[in-house]
């Protein structure tokens, strides 16, 4: 798909399909008024007759004659007085749904002058162009790699987005949106790939390919022997029952000054999670291919960073393993010594994500990081607490937590902070080791964060629990690409500082 930005007048924008917005209440955007003038007042007449309601995400496709456009797609954007970026995104998704399966070969989108309420960071023309670009890439995504019969190719091949000018700031905003969408789609590709293909070594190969395709990325892969030498016994305890060896994947991007401390991303890469000896129920276990959603988000973020090349240093670390039951698998009650030297009594082998992450969090100290942000599909408790709308956030630094929350608000990829109080730490007490790997049913997401915090005392750290946001179940089943938008926004907001 070819996406471009243009400052052409709407009356000279020849296309198979022009997209304009009509509010439910309030003044029409200038682009819609101009289109209506060219159409001889047809839009006003349809609106007056009730054919165009303007309700959020409503659509009406109108064939036209004697205009530069073969058809006009009218998208409802709700009342002007309360239109938030989230409402605007709903309208964009509805628009994309009509375009992607429609008859038009090309389209012109005139939606960037639709007014929004809120802070300038989310309502400016640049912010809207960013969201348009990201939504187009995201909504036109397909994954048919494993279907023997491919669907017919879409007729739509070119989309032009109209803006008030052709300046660098607007172009950069639009291009960043497109790049973020592509990063999300890379994340989705990895997440949707079945575990008989997507195993730790396969993920490592994808990192090598990313480095090959982008000279700004440097990749290093640690095998199990190297991890053993480093004392990563906690991570290796997870892969002990699998025929697939674990891998520690490191990707480095150096776009900032040599002396600048790197921003470190750490992703949980459990390519399939049976629960190990603490075996999960069979129903829905197929979705445990998504247990590497944190790793996939790290890959997607690095792809976006490699494409946009901000002035910042980023190190990404993926702890990749497969959690399987076998005669060599770790047993409940086993005790391992982590890379940090702290001992862990493993009471439940299905609480394995924290076991791979803790060694990765110890490993990244070598980079003297500015901050460390880990992400993981860590706890079902987070889904119970927050559903599929918000990512759970825990942090040992208030400023870092605030920055990540703000990035989530700006990007629409929202998070919600949970407490990391000392009072919860006692739930991890063990009679036989320094700690146990579970804290019981109460506050499951928080105690998982407490566990990780014990390995992140030497730097500013935040944990993102994406168990509810990394993928969808049911009819819309598939990877979502989150929290790539949040991470990209956060890193971009710190670039060049």
| Among 246, 303, 238, CA closest to 274 | 238
| Among 199, 351, 206, CA closest to 289 | 199
Task: Please report the sign of the dihedral spanned by the C-alpha atoms of residue 319, residue 323, residue 327, residue 333.
Answer: positive
Quote the CA–CA distance of 294 and 256 in Å, as a whole number. 24
Quote the CA–CA distance of 351 and 377 in Å, as a whole number. 11
Active site (annotated) includes residue 83 = no
Active site (annotated) includes residue 280 = yes
Residues whose CB is less than 8 angstroms from the CB of residue 171 and which lie 6 or more positions away in sequence, other chains included = 5
Quote the CA–CA distance of 470 and 266 in Å, as a whole number. 15
Q: Which residue among the candidates 83, 354, 414, 454 is catalytic per the annotation?
A: 354
Q: Which residue among the candidates 44, 55, 155, 280 is catalytic per the annotation?
A: 280
DSSP-derived 3-state class of residue 50: coil
Per DSSP, 431 falls in state: S
What are the structure tokens assigned to 180, written together? 């973020």
Per DSSP, 69 falls in state: B
Sheet strands side by side (includes 263-273): 217-222, 247-254, 313-323, 263-273, 371-376, 461-465, 391-395, 415-417
| Among 417, 418, 414, 416, CA closest to 485 | 414
Residues whose CB is less than 8 angstroms from the CB of residue 17 and which lie 6 or more positions away in sequence, other chains included = 61, 69, 70, 71, 72, 73, 99, 102, 104, 106, 107, 108
- Which segments within 69-193 are labelled E, that is strand? 71-76, 106-110, 158-162
C-beta neighbour count of 225 within 10 angstroms = 9
Active-site positions? 280, 354
């Amino acid at each position: 798909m070819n996406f471009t930005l243009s400052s052409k007048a709407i009356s000279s924008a020849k296309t198979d399909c022009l997209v304009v917005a009509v509010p439910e209440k309030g003044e029409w955007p200038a682009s819609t008024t101009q289109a209506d003038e060219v159409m001889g007042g047809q839009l006003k007449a349809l609106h007056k007759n009730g054919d165009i309601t303007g309700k959020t995400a409503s659509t009406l496709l109108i064939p036209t004659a004697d205009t530069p456009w073969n058809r006009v797609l009218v998208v409802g954007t709700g009342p002007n007085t309360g239109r938030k970026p989230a409402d605007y995104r709903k309208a964009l998704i509805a628009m994309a749904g009509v375009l992607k399966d429609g008859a038009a070969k090309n389209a012109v989108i005139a939606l960037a002058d639709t007014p929004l309420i809120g802070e300038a960071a989310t309502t400016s023309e640049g912010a809207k162009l960013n969201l348009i670009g990201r939504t187009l890439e995201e909504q036109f995504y397909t994954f048919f790699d494993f279907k023997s019969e491919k669907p017919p190719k879409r007729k739509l091949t070119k989309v032009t987005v109209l803006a008030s000018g052709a300046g660098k700031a607007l172009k950069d905003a639009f291009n960043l949106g497109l790049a973020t969408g592509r990063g999300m789609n890379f994340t989705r590709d990895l997440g949707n790939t079945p575990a008989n293909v997507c195993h730790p070594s396969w993920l490592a190969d994808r990192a090598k390919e990313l480095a090959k395709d982008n000279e700004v990325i440097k990749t290093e892969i640690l095998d199990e022997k190297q991890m053993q030498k480093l004392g990563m016994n906690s991570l290796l305890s997870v892969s002990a029952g699998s025929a697939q060896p674990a891998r520690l994947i490191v990707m480095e991007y150096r776009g900032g000054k040599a002396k600048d401390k790197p921003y470190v991303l750490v992703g949980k890469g459990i390519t399939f999670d049976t629960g190990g000896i603490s075996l999960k129920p069979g129903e829905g276990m197929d979705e445990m291919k998504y247990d590497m959603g944190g790793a996939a988000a790290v890959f997607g973020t690095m792809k976006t960073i490699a494409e946009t090349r901000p002035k910042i240093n980023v190190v990404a670390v993926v702890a990749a393993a497969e959690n399987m039951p076998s005669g060599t698998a770790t047993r409940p009650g086993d005790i391992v010594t982590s890379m940090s030297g702290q001992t862990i009594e493993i009471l439940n082998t299905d609480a394995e994500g924290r076991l791979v992450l803790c060694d990765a969090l110890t490993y990244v100290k070598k980079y003297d990081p500015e901050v460390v942000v880990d992400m993981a599909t860590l706890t079902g408790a987070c889904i119970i607490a927050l559903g599929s709308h918000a990512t759970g956030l825990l942090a040992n630094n208030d400023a870092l937590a605030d920055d990540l929350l703000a990035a989530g608000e700006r990007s629409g990829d929202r998070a919600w902070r949970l407490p990391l109080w000392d009072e919860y730490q006692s739930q991890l007490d063990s009679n036989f080791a320094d700690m146990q790997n579970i804290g019981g049913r109460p506050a499951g997401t928080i105690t998982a964060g407490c566990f990780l915090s014990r390995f992140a005392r030497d730097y500013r750290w935040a944990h993102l629990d994406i168990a509810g946001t990394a993928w969808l179940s049911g009819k819309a089943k598939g990877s979502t690409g989150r929290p790539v938008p949040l991470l990209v926004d956060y890193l971009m907001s710190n670039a060049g500082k």
